Amino acid sequence: MTKQIASISISGEITLNMHSLNNEGGEGNQIMTRQLTIVDKDGQEHTVNGISGDMFKHIHAGHLVNHCIDNGIELSQYSRALNPNRISSAELLSYITESKKKNEKAGVVIDALINSCTVCDTHGILITDKIGDNKDSSNTPRKSVIEFGWTIGIPGKNNSETYLHTKVVHSSTGVKGESSNEGQNIFHRPANHGAYAFVCNIDTYRIGFNDIDRIYSIDDDKRQARYKAILQSLLSSFLNPRGAMTSSQKPHITDFRGVVTYSEKLIPAPTVSSINPEYVQEIGMITSNLNEIENGAITAIEFNGLGELSGIIKDLIAEQPYKLS
């Protein structure tokens, strides 16, 4: 029997080597790796490497757009072109019927947004333009369905090294002059390694759900297609994390282990950061307690490696997103 999945969470420890997925910019000729200050479960501060949730969301969005194009799933013109603005006010207005164009409320704008674009629906957006003639339609928010936390280096398990980067110049080419592109740009760039705490959550029941009008703006078939698109793109994000500097510093993913939890009711699927070394036991205890409150609400599945994680996601794709009655 097909299950209805209301939310999915992943808590894990991913091991990355020789990567530079997220940087803070540069000082002179030195590219600076992103550094975070965190507090562990014992209250001790640590400075560690990190990858922002924005970066993983960017990686996921890229895979999501490709999946939608390949499968004929709705995308705005901006999202199709990977424009960070996601959708134009003119395109939004084209999805609103003539009878409503003189008096758009925020719910009407959200309905048009959900119908027109899968990325806008699932990744969230703030519409800053006024759509139509009603002032209530300006600054209209759409909360994201999928959420990524910072991917945080686990204290004592991560570090960074710096390497000199130069460009080889061949003087024997015979090409000279200002436009010959023989100039050097010597700089130092980081290569990070370590075990990182990863957390993400998907509120699958909100796929296609208009939070203002409290109704679903798209039918069940479209919700199912977007549900599959989100999960398949999430798996692709782990298999091919296309962040910063991957043209020559593609991450070596050597391990990914953790827990996938999913909820068949509106109790959130629990997540605990692997910064806490006892996170697996904590999630297990939370799951047991929640299932005593709501029988069979939460399922927790441990995985050891990307192979096992891919199997869990494959099985979840065969299920259905929960629908509010």
Alpha helices (H) in 118-249, listed in sequence order:
118-123, 220-239
- Residue 291 three-state SS: helix
Q: Is the torsion defined by CA of 111, 117, 121, 127 positive or negative? A: negative
What is the arithmetic mean of pLDDT over 125-138?
Answer: 72
Please determine, for residue 172, whether its predicted confidence score (pLDDT) is greater than 70: no
Q: Which percentage of the chain shows pLDDT scores above 70? A: 80
* Whole-model pTM over 0.85: yes
H/E run at residue 209: strand 209-210
Query: What would the pLDDT profile of 266-288 be if each residue is shown by its tens digit?
Result: 999 999 999 999 999 999 999 99
What residues does each domain of the chain span?
4-71+144-154+191-210+218-321
Q: Which two tokens stand for residue 14?
A: 């991913």
Task: Give CA separation, 8 vs 252, 259, 298, in Å.
Answer: 26, 11, 10
Task: Return all residues near 28 (Cβ < 8 A) that are at least 6 apart.
Answer: none
Q: Which two tokens stand for residue 321?
A: 């997103």
Q: What per-residue confidence (pLDDT) applies to 284?
A: 97
Asked if residue 18 lies in contact with residue 4, where contact means CB atoms within 8 angstroms, the answer is no
Q: What per-residue confidence (pLDDT) applies to 106?
A: 83
**What is the overall mean pLDDT for the chain?**
86
How confident is residue 241, by pLDDT bands cut at 50, 70 and 90?
confident
Please determine, for residue 145, whether its predicted confidence score (pLDDT) is greater than 70: yes
Please determine, for residue 128, whether its predicted confidence score (pLDDT) is greater than 90: no
Cα–Cα distance, 120 to 110 (Å, whole number): 10
Q: Which two tokens stand for residue 220?
A: 């069940």
Q: What per-residue confidence (pLDDT) applies to 9?
A: 98
Query: What would the pLDDT profile of 6-28 be if each residue is shown by its tens digit?
Result: 999 999 999 988 777 766 655 55
- Residue 200 three-state SS: strand
Bridge partners of 33, per DSSP, are 23
What is the arithmetic mean of pLDDT over 221-229?
Answer: 98
